[in-house]
Amino acid sequence: MYFLALFLFGIVVSANGGSPAEEAKKFLKNELDLFVKCATDAKLNPEDVLAQFVNKKELQSTREIKCLALCHLKSINIIKEDGVLDWGRLDEINKIEYIDPKEVEKALLLSSHCRKIVPAKYDGDQCEHAFIATKCYLEE
């Protein structure tokens, strides 16, 4: 989602017209812009960080990366201001970002899996919470 959106950006951009493809393209462009802003605000090189997320490389477990994950998830309303992770919002995003019904199904199964592992409410550090959710989604 969520973060696969960054990977799918290239696929969707090359998709031929059509309302769902155009909606996905617009959404992914906005999400990418928000991600870049979060990376820049965290004084991280957006291209380097994107490479980690898009290529599903092992994410660096630094405070900056963890807080980048929080910034990004908040910017697309997956983590609310009260710190609660809204898995339903991730499902909504997956339905917008993915055009192929099989890909939507895979994304929804993945979020269902992560929902069981990562609690919506987390009493610890919010950056850590966002990072755990991100890792689950990227590494599955």
Give the residue among 98, 82, 77, 90 at the shortest CA–CA distance from 136.
90
pTM of the predicted protein model: 0.80
**Residues 112-121: b if buried by 16+ CB within 10 A, e if exposed:** eebbeebeee
Nearest CA among 35, 75, 28 for reference residue 52: 35
Classify domain 4-139 at the CATH topology level: Recoverin; domain 1 (1.10.238)
Backbone angles phi, psi at 137, to 5 degrees: -65, -40
pLDDT digits (tens, 9 = 90+) for 94-137: 998 888 899 999 999 999 999 999 999 988 899 999 999 998 98
Answer whether residue 6 shows pLDDT above 70.
no
Over the stretch 54-76, which tens digit does the pLDDT of each residue have? 776 677 889 999 999 999 999 99
Cβ neighbours, 10 Å, residue 53: 23
